[in-house]
Amino acid sequence: MDLKSVREEAIEATNRFFADKQGFVPAEDSEEWEEEYRRQFARAKARHAAAGAISGRTGPGAAAAQPLAAAPSLPELTGTPEQKRWAAAIRADRLGEIQDPQIRAWLARDWTRARAWIDTRELSPETFRARAAVWYADHCRQAAEKAKAASAERQSEAAAAAALQAEIAAAGITPAGLVELVDASERAEPAPIKKKLAEIAADGRTLRLYETANPAALLVKEKNREGQSEYGIERDEGLVADLKLYARAAAPS
């Protein structure tokens, strides 16, 4: 263990602690600075000792310990550079204090704000473990509620889609039948198009039908094997209702 590195790390952590807590750093020969320095030195020393023990292991045990020690595998923290350096050290300590792998994985994945880790600096390991368990339980509860709501929404959408398909089937609406109704409609003078009513594909023909500036006429844009064409047809409210119902079922959800 490099004690010089430990001392430098402890001094930096001590100064950060006071700067963040009270906005200034007391003299290094003051009693409060010395007390905090001793606490930070003990934590830094323990951290370096743990890192050295992990790096010196061989065999299956080393592989099991490596993911927790490998800081690069953790998500990057957000905050100022100073906060991120301080929080990274606190995070390493705190994750080592959590025995439950699910809680540890959740903290590592979701706790990416440096400020959140820094705010735990005064908590004892026991208090932090207890609070982390409560936080994780609340997270699981919210996730379960969201999943339940999403499932209910999917079921509702599926039921609505099934009801719409049943309504279409009961009305006997099919693409081929709609094309036949268009073909049987009286022709009308084309007019400027407005809102699209529906698009139908059947027997190699694709028909797009629009309402027009003439309330008594619809415009049809047809594409088939022979090419493309446009023509007007007289508006029939029964046909329009069927087209709207068909379009609702064909619309992407």
The DSSP secondary structure of 182-236, one letter per residue, reads HHHSPEE----EEEEEEEEEETTEEEEEEEESSTTEEEEEEEETTEEEEEEEE--
Q: What is the DSSP string of 79-131?
A: S-HHHHHHHHHHHHHHHHH---HHHHHHHHHH--BHHHHHTTTTS-HHHHHHH
- Among 128, 143, 158, the domain boundary falls at 143
**Token pair in block for residue 209:** 């039908």
- Tell me the residue length of the chain: 253
pLDDT band at 38 (very low <50, low <70, confident <90, very high): confident
Residue 129 to residue 62: CA distance in whole angstroms: 24
Percentage of the chain modeled with pLDDT above 90: 60
Question: Does residue 163 lie in a domain region?
Answer: no
Mean pLDDT of 230-239: 95
Q: pLDDT tens-digit profile of 198-228?
A: 999 999 999 999 999 999 999 999 999 999 9
CA gap 61, 69 in Å, rounded: 13
Check residue 62 and give its pLDDT: 40
Here the tokens at position 83 are: 């906060």
Q: What pLDDT, on a 0 to 100 scale, did the predictor assign at position 58?
A: 41
Q: Which tokens in the block code for residue 198?
A: 């529906």
Domain boundary among 124, 143, 162: 143
Domain count, the chain: 2
Q: Is residue 105 part of a domain?
A: yes
What mean pLDDT value characterizes the chain? 86
pLDDT at 1: 59
| Distance of alpha carbon 76 from alpha carbon 37, whole angstroms | 27
Domain contains 158 = no
Cβ proximity of 191 and 213 under 8 Å: yes
For residue 113, pLDDT over 80 is answered with yes
Characterize the bridge pairing of strands 205-212 and 227-234. unpaired
Contacts 24+ apart (CB under 8 A), 162-165: 164/245, 164/248, 164/249, 165/249
Candidates 148, 178, 170; CA nearest to 244 is 178
Same domain, 9 and 70: yes
Q: Are 19 and 65 found together in one domain?
A: yes
Q: Is pLDDT above 90 for 11? A: no
User: For residue 95, is pLDDT > 90?
Assistant: yes
The last residue of a domain, from among 95, 126, 143: 143
161 belongs to a structural domain: no
Joined tokens for residue 26: 């007391």
Contact residues for 243 (Cβ-Cβ < 8 A; gap 6+): 178, 197, 198, 200, 209
152-209 confidence digits (pLDDT tens): 999 998 998 899 889 898 889 999 999 999 999 999 999 999 999 999 999 999 999 9
Amino acid at site 219? L
In a domain, 61, yes or no: yes
Q: What is the pLDDT of residue 244?
A: 93
In this structure, the strands spanning 187-188 and 227-234 are antiparallel
Q: Give the CA radius of gyration of the chain.
A: 35
Residues 13 and 127 in one domain: yes
In this prediction, residue 59 carries a pLDDT of 44
- pTM: predicted TM-score of the whole model, two decimal places: 0.49
pLDDT at 123 over 80: yes
Tens-place pLDDT, residues 56-86: 544 444 433 344 433 447 899 999 999 999 9
- Per-residue confidence at 46, pLDDT binned at 50, 70, 90? confident
133 and 9, same structural domain?
yes
**Residue range of the domain that includes 200:** 172-250
Residue type, 184: A
Angle made by CA atoms 136, 98, 147, in degrees to the nearest 5: 20
- The tokens describing 163, both together, are 């009801």
What confidence tier does 42 reach under pLDDT thresholds 50, 70, 90? confident
